[in-house]
Amino acid sequence: MDIESIREYVIQKPFVTEGFPFGEDTLVFKVNEKIFLLAGLDHTPLQFNVKCDPDKAIELREEYPENILPGYHMNKKHWNTIVVNGTITTKLLKEMIDHSYTLVNKTKKK
């Protein structure tokens, strides 16, 4: 996946907005005004951060130690940085994006 395909996948989800609140090099996706995905546009290979259940985050980091890292500039218990270099399948990338979206969307204000 590249940033364009990630954007196309993410933006079709309900209530998602995108923007550049941290500068032109970081594309941010929110659901109900809460961040669920950040992508660094100045990294090669592409890297993005997603929220993750803490236990699942540890499992993923152990299975993909070079490609799934503690969240860069984020709460490392709840966020992973994903390095997109072809090692992780598109299916798993989408699952991690969906998981982040669901976690953040559950915490919306009522």
Q: What is the pLDDT of residues 27-40, one digit of tens each?
A: 999 999 999 999 99
**8 pLDDT more than 50:** yes
Q: Which amino acid is at 12?
A: Q
Q: What pLDDT, on the 0 to 100 scale, is given for residue 108? A: 52
User: Phi then psi for 81, rounded to 5 degrees?
Assistant: -100, 125
* CA–CA gap between residue 57 and residue 45 (Å, rounded): 21
Cβ atoms of residues 81 and 69 within 8 Å: yes
Choose between 69 and 72: higher pLDDT: 69
What does the pLDDT look like over 89-108, one tens digit per residue?
A: 999 999 999 999 999 998 65
| pTM summary value | 0.92
Q: Where are the domains of the chain?
A: 3-106
Structurally, at CATH architecture level, domain 3-106 sits in Alpha-Beta Complex (3.90)
